[in-house]
Chain A
Amino acid sequence: MRFVDEFRDAELGRALAGEILSIVEPGRHYKVMEVCGGHTHSIYKYGLDDLLPANVELVHGPGCPVCVIPMGRVDDGIALAHQPGVIFTCFGDMMRVPGSDGSLLDAKAAGADIRMVYSPLDALRIAKANPDREVIFYAIGFETTAPSTALTLKRAKAERVANFTCMCNHVTIVPPLRALLDSPDLRLDGFVGPGHVSTVVGARPFEFIPADYGKPIVVSGFEPLDILHGVHMILRQLAEGRCEVENQYKRVVPYDGNPRALQVMAEVFELRPHFEWRGLGFISHSGLKLSEAYADLDAERRWTVPGVRVADPKACQCGEVLKGVIKPFECKVFGSACTPERPIGTCMVSSEGACAAYYNFGRFAREREVV
């Protein structure tokens, strides 16, 4: 595949790994957080840990859209899905996220009409094909997916599709990063910045990280060479005593983002005063809802959702995993009570979740070398 294979070249990978080894100080332990779940997935999928020096540790961050959805919001979605006449649509990995009493997949087996879609436009298409049904799209994701939801809502409004609504769970990336950086138990040397989010917001919004917190951040792509290159750029900043925002993913990410995407988001959404994050609690101005102009398309206004806040299960340590405070296997229920087939926490659900990635791909330590 052109434009893909070039970034998976094993020889270049080995060369880059050698470069990385040559700039780390022996005896110093480096902790680098990859913010985005897409990076976590790639790191495990390609076995990138095997190519990094032992003293460079990758810590998994909060940027997994499914992982940050709190239980109460899942319950609200299930309540909507059970409304008579409703077709409830969502992305596939949302279906297995546990609410306080089962997941959307369980609700589907119990009779709710829940359909997996790959794009919000598919949900709108379902609405147009079923004018006698109410179609709800359960929107999740950071700024990466928010513009496509916004465009879909714009189209629904322009085409006056009366039976289409959206339950908006979109979140923004900067507030949780700030919350993370304010956390006293954080010991990180730098960040691999989120590539997909940055295609929309650009690299500029991350300038507060070096400016206010003194940590370097390198916005990086998702292919294995991209990630190694991003780590190399962070380590080089540290070696040279620099601390700034750098953009490894220039082939896709403009420094100031995508103005049209930002503009359509501003038109359709507004910030909620606060939004609950799984494991991280309430964070101010971190969630989006539909603006007044789009109130008619807001599922939370068309129906009454229970809106009950459900505390995370006691045993679950997703919050600490999302903050990078503990590694997945350090969670009390990892792999025993909480597995991909029976997840307790969200991090075990999505393929981008740190626990699922570790369980599915990384559950093999080097000391147990294949013989």
Chain B
Amino acid sequence: MADAVSERERRVLDIIETVRAKRPKFKDAAITMAHGAGGKATQTLIEGLFVPAFGSEAGAVMADAGAVGDDLAITTDSFVVSPLRFPGGSIGELAVNGTVNDLAVSGARPLALSLAMILEEGLDSDTLRAEVEAIAAAAEAAGVEIVAGDTKVVERGHADGMFLCTTGVGRRDPRASLSPQGLRPGDRVLVSGSIGEHGTAIMLARGEFELAAEIESDTRSLWPAVEALLDAAGPQLRCLRDATRGGVASVLNELARASGVAMIVREAAVPVHPAVAGAAEILGIDPMYVANEGKLVAFVAPERADAALAALRSVEGCEAAAEIGEVRTEPPGMVLVQTAFGGKRVMDQLVGDPLPRIC
């Protein structure tokens, strides 16, 4: 049926793409959880409200880190995950690795962090102590120092235990020439390991589903992976993203739009841990949309793709890295999936996240 595409269908598809290509307007009467989910609503909020107000280009605000001077990069991130501790990590580790990774994927070696804590009245001291230790350990592992901080306490009920905010500074690696607009047709898409583990671990840790599986959060510093990629591909490394909220699918959509290219993903090539696949199947969720806290997506020119993949696989924690697809020209701004079953479909941006407060 699909090859008998009517004039009308084509016209409708054209209208949709015109509508989607426009800068979104922020018209909602109030903030809903969807605005924090990393999908379309978040994009509308950023492009429709923040970018016009802060007078910067969409690319600059949407990027993981901004430039300061010639060789420094700065980024900031806040953490509201529930529960505070989960298999494989805790809010303290996320607060370090999340910010470190935003620097890393912008091609900057992480140097130092500041840390702001919003604590809820009544928070157990042992809980706080455990998180302080987790922060110290993660910072040491990532090779960054905590150089400044702030503490606030709010009344009981005004924060869920603790919220953390970290700001990070890094030095740009001279070999990195990364840009979200830099993708070229033919570029290969790599992921640094099996996907969806952080989001699934959090989901199961909340105990809402009466499901149990041995899945741990993948929270870790990505700088070693970035360094290996820069060694192997240098300027042929086009762009990097860490696939946090909204998962790998959201990263691909964001960059397809930013570069005006198409992408095709081979579903069968995407590494997914069997326990993640099983949980996602039961819950009706696609692992491509599930959050990671230690996985990056790399876009590499085809001639350096094999070398980059080999380099990535030699890094601890990235042994399962894989090439999952490539950049094409048509239809611009769209991500398509070659399904494992043999059909083809669109892999769109997320509208709202079924799972809030994962990081």
A residues neighboring B (CB under 8 Å): 1, 4, 8, 10, 13-14, 44-52, 54-58, 92, 96, 105-106, 108-110, 116, 118, 122, 224, 327, 329-330, 334-336, 339-341, 351, 359-371
Contact = CB atoms under 8 A, between A and B. Distances in A.
A342 B337 CA distance: 25
B37 to A, nearest CB: 11
Contacts of A57: 1
Given A49-B2, A105-B32, A109-B31, A329 B13 contact: yes
B278 interface: yes
A365 B329 CA distance: 15
Contacts of B69: none
B30 A109 contact: yes
Nearest to A351: B284
23 contacts: A10-B340, A10-B342, A47-B339, A49-B2, A51-B342, A92-B354, A108-B32, A109-B33, A110-B30, A116-B354, A224-B343, A329-B9, A329-B13, A335-B16, A336-B15, A364-B331, A365-B5, A367-B5, A369-B330, A370-B328, A370-B330, A370-B331, A370-B336
A334 B339 contact: no
Contacts of B41: 341
Interface of B: 1-5, 8-10, 12-13, 15-16, 19, 29-34, 40-41, 44, 208-209, 262, 264, 274, 277-278, 281, 284, 328-331, 334, 336-337, 339-346, 348, 351-352, 354
Contacts of A363: 13, 16, 346, 348
Given A56-B1, A368-B330, A340 B345 contact: no
B344 A47 contact: yes
A58 B331 contact: no
B29 to A, nearest CB: 7
B5 A366 contact: yes
A371 B209 CA distance: 42
Contact of B341 (A92, A224, A340): A224
- A-B pairs with lowest CB-CB distance, top 9: A47-B343, A335-B16, A365-B5, A50-B343, A361-B345, A366-B2, A329-B12, A46-B341, A109-B30
A54 B278 contact: no
B346 A335 contact: no
Contacts of B274: 1
Contacts of A122: 208
Nearest to B1: A57
A51 B343 contact: yes
Contacts of B277: 1
A105 B341 CA distance: 35
Given A51-B343, A96-B352, A370-B330, A1 B12 contact: no
A339 B320 CA distance: 37
A359 B343 CA distance: 16
A155 B344 CA distance: 45
Nearest to B334: A364
Nearest to B354: A92
Contacts of B339: 45-47
B281 A1 contact: yes
A94 to B, nearest CB: 13
A48 B10 contact: no
B343 A334 contact: no
A297 B209 CA distance: 25
Nearest to A95: B352
A220 to B, nearest CB: 15
Contacts of A362: 345-346
Nearest to A53: B1
Contacts of A367: 3, 5, 10
A351 B336 CA distance: 18
Given A54-B4, A58-B1, A106-B29, A118 B209 contact: yes
A364 B1 contact: no
Contacts of B44: 341
B25 to A, nearest CB: 11
A55 B277 CA distance: 35
Given A10-B341, A110-B30, A341 B351 contact: yes
A118 B10 CA distance: 38
